Amino acid sequence: MNRFIRSLAFFTLVCIFFTTSVKAESSGISKIDDSIDVLKAIVSVPEKSIPPALLHNAAGIAIIPGVIKAGFILGGRYGNGILIVRDKEGGWSNPAFMTLTGGSIGRQIGIQSIDIILVFKHRRSIEGITKGKFTLGADASIAAGPVGREAEAATDVQLKSEIYSYSRTRGLFAGLALEGAVLQIDDEANEKFYKKEYIKTGDIFANKGLKTPPDVEKLKKLLSEHAK
């Protein structure tokens, strides 16, 4: 009887572990699929979205779908998404999961969901994120990115920024001020998605022995097509 109970307990634990693992991977795939949808929306109307030249010269892109922005006078943001960088051959790496958190003060009320995109001009900003908490505006200069024809009238200050930020709300796409928001690699999400304990972000970007689902290749292909 005791042996049966132990066997049943072991079987239950295995089922729980397997279910949790499947859910974690499924959650990661859903986030990648959401990111693909956001990216498609960006490039669908070139004259009203991120200028192609920025995408072409980008060292990396972060896509954070469905960021929750809420507040009553004092506000806050929270969301999780992916960070993908250019590899040594000029292609795109595997995605690393990350979080965005940040507060704000102003006259606001209610809850809103927005999609956020960050375009990184330099690799050093990405390396800063991989080392720990990274505060936009403090650890690297950030500006609301120029949209479409506005890129032609971008100021010298904007052109010298290391990161450009964008948002999409209810189908509208525009630059976004994100000073003070914090970016951080989500190590737990990476471990669950890639099924590898203590996986390093650098190994994800370098694709060191990692098995990825077709959705990842779909994301890379989409970026390659529209960031040439």
CA gap 143, 68 in Å, rounded: 21
Contact in structure between 163 and 121 (CB atoms under 8 Å): yes
The boundaries of the domain holding residue 103 are 2-226
**Which regions of 51-171 does DSSP assign to beta strands (E)?**
60-85, 96-120, 134-135, 142-144, 163-169
By DSSP bridging, strand 142-144 and strand 163-169 are: parallel
Distinct helix (H) and strand (E) counts, the chain: 7, 7
Q: pTM of the prediction?
A: 0.80
Structure confidence by residue, pLDDT tens digits, 71-116: 555 567 789 999 999 988 888 999 999 999 886 555 555 567 788 9
Contact in structure between 96 and 127 (CB atoms under 8 Å): no
CA gap 24, 100 in Å, rounded: 19
Residue 90 backbone zone (phi > 0: left; psi -120 to 50: alpha; other: beta): left
Tell me how many domains the chain contains.
Answer: 1
Structure confidence by residue, pLDDT tens digits, 19-75: 333 344 458 899 999 999 998 887 777 666 787 778 888 999 999 998 876 655 556
Structure confidence by residue, pLDDT tens digits, 134-183: 998 889 988 888 776 555 544 444 457 899 888 887 666 666 778 888 99
